Copies of this chain bind each other. A is one copy, B any other.
Amino acid sequence: MTTKTNPGNFFEDFRLEQEIRHATPRTVSAGDAALYTALYGSRFAVQSADSFARQLGLPAAPLDDLLAFHIVFGKTVPDVSLNAVANLGYAECRWLRPVYPGDSLHSVSRVIGLKENSNRKTGVVYVRSTGYRGSEAVLDYVRWVMVKKRDESAAIRQEHVPQLAGRVAPEQLQVPAGLDFAHYDWGLAGSPHAWEDYAAGEKIDHVDGMTIEEAEHMLATRLYQNTAKVHFDQFRQGREKLGRRLIYGGHIISLARALSFNGLANAAFIAAINGGRHVNPTLAGHTVYAWSEVLEKAELPGRKDVGALRLRTLALKDQPAAGFPDKDAAGKYPDCVVLDLDYWVLMPRQS
C-alpha cells in the first residue's frame, strides 16, 4: 500500500520540458468577484460593473486580473512548490484573455529550467505556467523556486537556465478582444487622468493604508485553493523562526493594486508582470501602504484609444508612502518595503 498523501515534487523529480497538468479545475463565479471586493475593496470600474464593461464592448465585467492570476497560481503549488524553500521570482507574466464568471479554469506547467545549487541540497526549478479556459490560454507566467532535493547524493542529469525577458515588450501586451475605450466614462471611473497625463519618472503616493487580519489572508488564500502550509498552520509556524503564519505574496500584490486606485483609477487592466520581489515578510497586524513610479509609457500598435504604462509599485508595512521609501544605491531595501512589483497596465487615452 503506497502512501496516499501528496509528498510534492523534489528537485530530482523534475525533468526539462516536463508538462504538469495541475488539479483542481475551478469554475469562477460572481461569488469569487464579491469575495475579492470584500477582501481588497478594489474599485476599478471595468471589473466592478457589467454596465461599465459592456459600454466598452466586453460581454460583462471580467474578474479582476489578479484574482484570475491567483486561482491559476494556486493550482501549481501542490506540484511545483510544496517542497520549496523560497519563491525566487516571476517573469514574462501576461494576461491573454479576460476571465468571466462561469469560466472553468485549469493550469498546466512546463519545466523550462533546472539548476542544482552548489550545496547539492537544493536546486532551482523554472516553470512556465499557463491558465486555461478549456483549450484557450487566459494567462501565463514564468516563476522560479528553490526546491529541496529528496536525496542530496542524487546526480542531476540535466541543467538549463532559461533566458527570461527583463520586461514584456509592449507589442506583446494583449488588449482584450472587443475592448474599445472610445466610450469610457471618466466620471464613473473616478478620475480624469488619462494615459497622456502620466509621465515616466512620476511618483504617486497612494495615500490610503489597509491593515491585514489573519482571517482575511487565510480566506483569500483558500479562495485561491493555494495549499502552501505556511499560510495556515500557526501551530507549526509557531515553532519556526518568524513564529507566525506567512502571508501569501499575492495577497500583498492585490492589496497594493487596490490601494493604487487612488492615483491610478484608470489603470483598467493589468496586462503583464515584468518581475516582482517580496523583499520583506508581511504579517497579520501590519498596515500596508503603497506608492508607484511610472517607469515607461508605450503606445500600442494600431490603437488610439488605449496605451500602456509600465509601473513599479512598492508596498510598505507600517510606513505611509509619502517619502517614497525605496532601495538604496546598493539595491538594499529598508525594512518597511515588502513588495517591489514591475508591471504593465492598460489605460484609456484621451479621445
Residues on A facing B (Cβ under 8 Å): 1-6, 21, 23-27, 29-35, 37-41, 43-45, 48-52, 61, 78, 101-102, 104-106, 134, 187-191, 193, 197-199, 202, 204-211, 213-216, 218-223, 225-227, 229, 232-236, 245, 262-265, 285, 287, 318, 320
29 contacts between A and B (CB under 8 A): A4-B264, A21-B187, A23-B191, A25-B45, A25-B52, A27-B51, A29-B30, A29-B34, A30-B31, A32-B34, A35-B35, A37-B223, A41-B226, A48-B225, A49-B106, A50-B102, A78-B190, A208-B227, A208-B229, A208-B233, A209-B229, A210-B232, A210-B233, A211-B214, A211-B233, A213-B215, A227-B262, A233-B287, A236-B287
Residue of B nearest to A216 (CB): B215
By the criterion CB–CB under 8 Å, are A49 and B216 in contact? no
Q: How many copies does the complex hold?
A: 3
In the complex the two chains form, what is the Cα distance from A21 to B186 in whole Å? Answer: 11
By the criterion CB–CB under 8 Å, are A4 and B49 in contact? no
In the complex the two chains form, what is the Cα distance from A297 to B30 in whole Å? Answer: 39
In the complex the two chains form, what is the Cα distance from A264 to B5 in whole Å? Answer: 8
- Apart from A24-B188, A235-B287, what are 16 other A-B pairs with CB-CB below 8 Å? A5-B206, A6-B190, A21-B187, A24-B190, A27-B61, A29-B33, A31-B31, A31-B34, A34-B34, A35-B38, A40-B222, A51-B134, A208-B233, A211-B245, A216-B218, A235-B320
In the complex the two chains form, what is the Cα distance from A27 to B78 in whole Å? Answer: 34
Provide the residues of chain B in CB contact with A221, threshold 8 Å.
Answer: 41
Provide the residues of chain B in CB contact with A31, threshold 8 Å.
Answer: 29-35
In the complex the two chains form, what is the Cα distance from A208 to B216 in whole Å? Answer: 19
Provide the residues of chain B in CB contact with A207, threshold 8 Å.
Answer: 5
By the criterion CB–CB under 8 Å, are A41 and B222 in contact? yes
In the complex the two chains form, what is the Cα distance from A118 to B313 in whole Å? Answer: 43
Minimum CB–CB distance from A314 to chain B (whole Å) comes to 16
In the complex the two chains form, what is the Cα distance from A184 to B206 in whole Å? Answer: 48
By the criterion CB–CB under 8 Å, are A1 and B287 in contact? no
By the criterion CB–CB under 8 Å, are B234 and A211 in contact? yes
In the complex the two chains form, what is the Cα distance from A318 to B23 in whole Å? Answer: 28
